[in-house]
Structure 1
Amino acid sequence: MSRTERFDTALGFTTAKGPVMRVVRWLVYAVCVVVFAGPLLSLLVNAFTPVAKPTELTLIPDEITLDNFARAFDRGVLGYLLNSFFVVGFGLLLQILVSLSAAYALARKRFPGMRLVFLLILSTMMLPEEILAIPLSLVLADVPLVGVDLTGTLLGMIIPVAAWGFSILVMTEFMKEIPVELEEAARIDGAGEFRIFFSVVLPLCRPALGVIGIFGFVMIWDQYMLPLLVADDAGQYTLPLALRTLRTDPEVGLGVLLAASLLALLPSVIAFLAMQRQFMKGLTSGAIKG
């Protein structure tokens, strides 16, 4: 590779050496870090700092304290956090099971009306939550066929997120790339449909599981409209909904709100770090196969 050969970077710069270009690159990188990482760093630092007014936010704290978290727990934040974990745990489990089942049927089976089913699944991603709010509240108040009222229960927050069009589409496209010959070989060996699914198809879907796992976790964790429709009292609030209550409470200080916001942010970050490897494999698998 010659020294005169250049490569474009993500920001449009080249690797050409030179003092002026190096200074410009570092200035742009510094601005990007401040814009994107500054608010997160401010949240992290000030959650452990006594803060009374927004103008007192700082990146260099004079005092470190856990008083904000103690006061947040006194306000019931721990209970809201447990509600969120309960909803996202069971909701994500159901969502993955539904996505795997639906994707396997769409990717490997042929049945009348399959394109219509696929179109209906796709159409669910085009409707904003505000349009679905009233119909969803009516359905949850009187579930068809069974006549059960799910309002005022955490189950009412879990059932609606059990199926998500995005996860089904991602898993379907990934399963289509799995060679059919692997399944045919398993059938020749006498494996049944469930054995093929769990022993052949599912292990190959781990990268896609990382993708839908992270996106599904964030989608369920950040739900605001659904808990607002279902919850009857504050004891059923999830943490994103409780943040609104804390924000409008005049007796709650800014430090408590920042501490609660940090608790709401950390699970998504931890989930991404835990599934980062599978997530990256899932994102790049399509490019590699293409």
Structure 2
Amino acid sequence: MRHDTALGFTELKGPLARTVRFVVYTALVLVFAGPLLALLVSAFSPVHDPTSLTLLPSRLTLDNFRAAIRRDVLTYLLNSFIVVGGGLLLQVLVSVSAAYALARKQFPGARLVFLLILSTMMLPEEILAIPLSLVLADVPVVHVNLVGSLVGMIVPVGAWAFSILVMSEFMREIPMELEEAARLDGAGDLRIFWSVVLPLCRPALGVIGIFGFTMIWDQYMLPLLVAQDAAQFTLPLALRSLRSDEQVGVGVLLAASLLALLPSVLAFLAFQRQFMRGLTSGAVKG
């Protein structure tokens, strides 16, 4: 019997077929996981030459992390956690609220609003840099200067078109009969949103949670516009500063890079079940 595999191979019995599959799968693992393993091993190893990274450490040490701590990497890491925590919370609140209005309510100009939201995904960060810096320096209506504060890095990421798109498309698939039944029981819009619609959107929340976390965590342009001194740097911005410092060794950069990588991996592992459920739910509904 022949079974088609995901890589397009035909699964045949026999030692030759098993050997070929083992070689191919091993090569794929080395290609995709090799750089990550080299980063992990080299961060705990004495490294003097950036071209001498290895998967087999000769001696394990924490000197790279001690040197990174002396370079205030923990401060940059804390700033990143504050920005990603506040930004992700604000982004989820804005996304679910906007998606509920767009997906479950009918009002004049809804298509235009949705089109304007999608149009923001077509604008690169470089085009928005100057207007954004001017707005943050003097926020309209309240006239507050957010430049030089972590709040200035949190507010702009509070609304993301991708998260609104994912949530609105997911909410459209929820049967209206559930909402109508809740209204017959005397529930209002807020109660329906909180007790009926939102619990059914947990898979979508996992999807926007992972993508939102990664998007905010990897922000470089926004902290570059807002931060006015090194104490306000986030970790991605600090990596640039450390790289340009000739007194910083390669080991310190590797340790800081590992600290910058781990939160994204842990976030994916934490929301993995909801993320996969969100993808499979979208595939079934589509």
Q: Superposition pairs for residues 222-237 of structure 1, below 5 Å? A: 222-237=218-233
Q: Matched residue of 2:159: which SS? A: coil
Q: Superposition pairs for residues 162-201 of structure 1, below 5 Å? A: 162-201=158-197
Say which of 34, 37, 62 aligns to 1:41: 37
Say which of 107, 111, 115 aligns to 2:107: 111
Q: Superposition pairs for residues 67-216 of structure 1, below 5 Å? A: 67-216=63-212
TM-score by structure 1 length? Answer: 0.97
TM-score by structure 2 length? Answer: 0.98
User: What runs of 5+ residues in structure 2 fail to find an aligned partner?
Assistant: none
**1:58-79 CA deviation, whole Å, 9 max, x = no partner?**
1111111111111101001000
8 A contact 2:11–2:17 mirrored in 1:
no
Q: Matched residue of 1:232: which SS? A: coil
8 A contact 2:43–2:64 mirrored in 1:
yes
**1:179-233 CA deviation, whole Å, 9 max, x = no partner?**
1101100100001111111010111010000000000000000000000000000
Q: What number of residue pairs does the alignment pair up? A: 286
Cα RMSD, aligned residues only: 0.9
Q: Matched residue of 1:186: which SS? A: helix
Q: Which residue of 2 aligns with 1:240?
A: 236
**1:120-179 CA deviation, whole Å, 9 max, x = no partner?**
110111111111111111111111111111110100000000000000000000000111
Report deviation, 1:21: 2.8
**Runs of 4+ residues deviating >3 angstroms:** none
User: What runs of 5+ residues in structure 1 fail to find an aligned partner?
Assistant: none
Q: Matched residue of 1:167: which SS? A: helix
CA distance in 1, matches of 2:179, 2:257: 47
| Structure 1 counterpart of 2:216, one-letter code | I
| Structure 2 counterpart of 1:172, one-letter code | S
Q: Which residue of 1 aligns with 2:55?
A: 59
**1:222-255 CA deviation, whole Å, 9 max, x = no partner?**
0000000000001000000000011111111101
CA distance in 2, matches of 1:182, 1:21: 52
CA distance in 1, matches of 2:87, 2:238: 19
CA distance in 2, matches of 1:8, 1:197: 44
Q: Which residue of 2 aligns with 1:260?
A: 256
CA distance in 2, matches of 1:224, 1:181: 45
Report deviation, 1:22: 2.4
CA distance in 2, matches of 1:288, 1:127: 31
Instruction: Determine what percentage of the aligned residue pairs are the same residue.
Output: 78
Point out the more displaced range, 70-79 or 57-66: 57-66
CA distance in 2, matches of 1:286, 1:220: 24
Report deviation, 1:16: 1.8
Report deviation, 1:80: 0.1
